[in-house]
Structure 1
Amino acid sequence: MTALPDAFNQTLSQLLGDDWRTDATALEAHAQDNSWRHALPQGVALPSTREQVQAIVRACREHAVPLVGRGAGTGTTGAAVPTAGGVVVSFARMNRIVAIRAGDRCAVVEPGVLNGDLQQALMPHGLFWPPDPSSADICSIGGNLACNAGGPRAVKYGTSRDNVLGLVAVTGTGELIHCGGAYTKDATGFDLTHLIVGSEGTLALIVEATLKLAPRPRAQAGLRVLYRDAAAAAAAVSRVMVQPVTPTMLEFMDARSLELLRRNGAQVPDAGAMLLIEADGDDDTLPYLLNALAQAAEGDGMLELDVATDGSARDRLWAARRALSPALKSIAPGKINEDVVVPVSRIPELVEGVQRLSADARLPIVTFGHAGNGNLHVNILYHPDDADENARAHAALPQVFALALGLGGTLSGEHGIGLAKRDFMAQAFSPSTLDAMRAIKQALDPDGILNPGKVLPPPSAPQ
């Protein structure tokens, strides 16, 4: 990897002062995300304004230096890892909540604002921003938008893409583009807002976002429903999703998940699968909503149904779900966590197929996640220092993707593609579809400097 040109270093130093970092501490701090992939950048830029972002991009383009946009680094696919070296553009300094427009039910924010901080700022207004990934307290809005983050509430409120109204972004040529705005209806030109959301910084760098807000519900209640097996639970998911009341959350846990929770001290009865269902509304309507969801959840294979209406009971209900990811480490230190999506009706086949893969690979695979969207997290557990287990775990991963695609699903619902799933895109899309995506990339980033090597496989990849 060649050193950064002296003229480039001088330009960035003059532009950013002490916020242009090339010291070893800064480079190491920006070398990985939560995928634990690691690659050192050659410099770290911490802009404070959109004009600085434009200048950084133009300098990178002039000197053919790759750059990677970075939020809080909580992503799991390697999308923020600077595998080509170059510059990491950290948005930590661009963390202003520009405006909360309660009357328009929107907020205007810079990309470095943390999801948790925004939620706190919105509370006095009786509003919230719906995306709630597991890292919500510490992840950034820019990162949420870059990978189209979701979370449990997505079944009712949608993902990040469904909750953004407009963007200001810097393309790979350093040009500033404005798309969308503080309105919910727009039939004007191409929808660049929703194209950029989920593109993982490969098309443009988001420097401002207008977010769609929702009223904070007055009341919430939850159900815990146990089933004989995964097939019975999945059939219940279909019944829940076909009736008029949309749950706020609808989470699935397989038998291995429940066994793991019991092993770690949670009071979870023995069952083949469990659903956690939540509804929100007001004090008058919530009982009717909850009753409709409970009736839909009942059916063949149901073993037990518990209702939690007060706050402490709901907290206990969801504590089991939140405890799952940390508890996985008690099985094995290594984890490959991929979030695949299938049509809701195909969830039983997905779970059954994963169980077969687990037996064939002789490794524990734990499945849980957002059943209402058909978005399940498949966790392959192994010991990285065991060469045979390591090989078997990574050999099972393509089979998980092939299983999901074979069931009419897709590679990711909320984690994104990054590096982890890039080479499987040729299985998910036809050559002509991938060519159309590459043409869009070429139009917005003609020199290919924005997050190179991510999302799209090379044209020469096997089709």
Structure 2
Amino acid sequence: MNRIASGVAFSANFRSSLTRIAGDGCLLTDPADCWPYGYDNSRRHALPQAVVFATDEARIAALVRLCAEAGVALIARGRGTGTTGATVPDRGGIVLSFERMDRILRLVPADRLAVVQPGVLNATLQQALEPLGFFWPPDPTSAATCTIGGNLAYNSAGPRAVKYGTPRDNTLGLRAVDGCGESFRTGVLTTKGVVGYDLTRLVIGSEGTLALITEATLKLTPLPEARRTLRATYADIHAAAAAVSAIMAQPVTPCALEFMDAAAIATVRHFTEIDLPEGAGALLMIEVDGPRACIDAALNAVTAAAQVAGLLELRRADSAAEVAALWKARKSLSPTLRHIAPKKINEDVVVPVSRMGEFIEGLERLSHETGIRIVNFGHAGNGNIHVNLLIDPDDAGEVERARDCLDAMFSLVLRLGGTLSGEHGVGLEKRDFVGREIDPVALRLMSEIKRGFDPAGILNPGKGLPPVASNAQDESMG
């Protein structure tokens, strides 16, 4: 595999070919124009040497071939809502923006599928599907601004994943371009199919390091007839964790099961007037959906499961206004955190549901030991916890303590049988910790897969995987 040099200078021939391949109005080279395409929501930034707006698969394939021959890094980008630095061009090169490939190509209700380009916004697709009585289950918090391509690149899911699964579970097939500039198709148009290896699930979640997705065939789900909402407040996280385990152990799976810990509740209370009982140490937001004829029975089953020792209050919403009121605490949390500290380090780890209480308790100890304020919330139904470390980036001592805290937190996650990322991906932020979770043989096999898809190592180099020990000098394998 060739080494990708950081910010390799473009030759005159390369520039000429780049201009021709990009097409009129689809190339930026002025640093001021390229600047906004060098960041993502991790707050990392690096200036790309050029930005190309993807318009069709043939031009993408030609661009990949050009970059592979010249050893120029090529980084795919949606709308930059990711939090791990996966779209930051830290080695220079070209950012390939998919924002203009935003067409919904086909909606086929009879086969429960949609065919879309990667630049379609998640919310735009949902709006197009609703009149047809369908939805695509992945629903990240950033649905209004994130793209389907980005959802696929990170396997980003959101609250509904507890019942309906992630993009890997809701995608039938892809069209993509590999690191050699060759187009290929994965998957099927049917819900069954076992011919060949499952390249669809392999490419999804690979953060643009294996191939560039140019089209996706998505599996649709009928909209539920009815939905019911509950808010349960508990004395502590252990009671809430026991309730989550009980809810997930009975036959009715909620469509959302969100939680906030004591620090999150205190944070919201400090900035917003929220009607919660005194002594609230944890909060669960629970939604149940399904056929109208069955919804009350489903709600009763979940309600019974939520009534464990330590329950302080259980509220049900019967109107849209009441639903909004119950969700107010959870939805106001993220905006509130932005007012507390100049920067938050947002990690989305996952632990077994039965270990959630133990994990939150461990985080409380780490917060006390390091002096770093930690606020936790997330998707309780699958143990996906968003851990927020609130720091001042101008305080060198606090930044160093936060780094130590993060290191210890990742160790705790793995000790409890968890994983380092549930839906935010790895990118640059977690790359150096991946070797703690994945064994050396598996890492070697993954690097060989990377080499097979991308022999020149140009596709988003240095993201996702750490360098393999036997080839540590070849950074492009990362």
Instruction: Judge same fold: TM > 0.5, yes or no.
Output: yes
Residue type at the aligned position of 2:303: A
Instruction: Name the residue aligned to 1:302.
Output: 311
Equivalence map 1:162-181=2 (5 Å): 162-181=169-188
After superposition, the C-alpha distances for 1:180-217 in whole angstroms (9 at most, x for unaligned) are 12211111110000000000000000000001111111
Residue type at the aligned position of 2:20: Q
Residue 24 of structure 1, aligned match among 26, 31, 41: 31
Q: How far off is 1:51 after superposition?
A: 0.6
Residue 145 of structure 2, aligned match among 122, 138, 159: 138
Q: Distance in 1 between matches of 2:248 and 2:438?
A: 28
Instruction: Name the residue aligned to 1:56.
Output: 63
Q: How far off is 1:281 after superposition?
A: 1.4
Kindly indicate whether residue 76 of structure 2 is the aligned counterpart of residue 69 of structure 1: yes
Q: How far off is 1:227 after superposition?
A: 0.6
After superposition, the C-alpha distances for 1:108-145 in whole angstroms (9 at most, x for unaligned) are 00000000111111111011111111100110000000
The alpha-carbon distance between structure 1 residues 301 and 435, as it changes in their structure 2 partners (threshold 3 A), is same
Q: Distance in 2 between matches of 1:230 and 1:268?
A: 19
Q: How far off is 1:266 after superposition?
A: 3.3
Instruction: Name the residue aligned to 2:363.
Output: 354
Q: How far off is 1:283 after superposition?
A: 2.2
Residue 454 of structure 1, aligned match among 448, 458, 463: 463
Q: Which moved more, 1:265-274 or 1:300-309?
A: 265-274
Gaps of 5+ in 1: none
SS at match of 1:18: coil
Residue 190 of structure 2, aligned match among 179, 183, 186: 183
Q: Distance in 1 between matches of 2:100 and 2:267?
A: 40
Residue 422 of structure 2, aligned match among 391, 406, 413: 413
Residue type at the aligned position of 1:8: F
Tell me if structure 2 keeps the 8 A contact 1:220–1:309.
no
Kindly indicate whether residue 401 of structure 2 is the aligned counterpart of residue 385 of structure 1: no
SS at match of 1:30: helix
Tell me if structure 1 keeps the 8 A contact 2:27–2:52.
yes
After superposition, the C-alpha distances for 1:384-432 in whole angstroms (9 at most, x for unaligned) are 1112112111221111111101100000010000001000010001110
Q: Which moved more, 1:10-19 or 1:436-445?
A: 10-19
Residue 214 of structure 1, aligned match among 214, 218, 221: 221
Q: Distance in 2 between matches of 1:317 and 1:137?
A: 22
Instruction: Name the residue aligned to 1:342.
Output: 351
Instruction: Name the residue aligned to 2:475.
Output: none
Q: Distance in 1 between matches of 2:154 and 2:10?
A: 29
Gaps of 5+ in 2: 1-6, 473-478
Q: How far off is 1:12 after superposition?
A: 1.6
Kindly indicate whether residue 176 of structure 2 is the aligned counterpart of residue 155 of structure 1: no
Instruction: Name the residue aligned to 1:194.
Output: 201
Tell me if structure 1 keeps the 8 A contact 2:8–2:93.
no
Residue 13 of structure 1, aligned match among 9, 19, 25: 19
Instruction: Name the residue aligned to 2:410.
Output: 401
Q: Distance in 2 between matches of 1:112 and 1:416?
A: 19
Residue type at the aligned position of 2:154: C
Q: Distance in 1 between matches of 2:12 and 2:165?
A: 46
Kindly indicate whether residue 206 of structure 2 is the aligned counterpart of residue 205 of structure 1: no
After superposition, the C-alpha distances for 1:18-75 in whole angstroms (9 at most, x for unaligned) are 2111012321011100001111111111121011110110110111111000011100
SS at match of 1:338: strand
Q: Distance in 2 between matches of 1:320 and 1:50?
A: 44
Tell me if structure 2 keeps the 8 A contact 1:134–1:151.
yes
Q: Which moved more, 1:268-277 or 1:204-213?
A: 268-277
The percentage of counterpart residues that share the same residue type is 54
Residue type at the aligned position of 2:459: L
Q: Distance in 2 between matches of 1:266 and 1:400?
A: 31
After superposition, the C-alpha distances for 1:305-348 in whole angstroms (9 at most, x for unaligned) are 00113222112222221211111123211100000001110101
Residue type at the aligned position of 2:298: L
Q: Distance in 2 between matches of 1:372 and 1:186?
A: 29
Residue type at the aligned position of 2:416: L
Kindly indicate whether residue 107 of structure 2 is the aligned counterpart of residue 100 of structure 1: yes
Aligned residues: 462
Q: Which moved more, 1:98-107 or 1:309-318?
A: 309-318
SS at match of 1:84: coil
Kindly indicate whether residue 294 of structure 2 is the aligned counterpart of residue 259 of structure 1: no
Q: Distance in 1 between matches of 2:8 and 2:178?
A: 25
Residue type at the aligned position of 1:12: L
Which stretches of structure 1, 4 residues or longer, exceed 4 Å deviation after superposition? none
Q: Distance in 1 between matches of 2:320 and 2:228?
A: 8
Q: Distance in 2 between matches of 1:224 and 1:301?
A: 14
Tell me if structure 2 keeps the 8 A contact 1:4–1:86.
no
Tell me if structure 2 keeps the 8 A contact 1:221–1:310.
no
SS at match of 1:398: helix
TM-score, normalization by structure 1: 0.98
Instruction: Name the residue aligned to 2:47.
Output: 40
TM-score, normalization by structure 2: 0.95
Tell me if structure 2 keeps the 8 A contact 1:168–1:206.
yes
After superposition, the C-alpha distances for 1:240-267 in whole angstroms (9 at most, x for unaligned) are 0010000000011100111111111131
Instruction: Name the residue aligned to 1:442.
Output: 451
Residue type at the aligned position of 2:10: L
Q: How far off is 1:2 after superposition?
A: 3.2
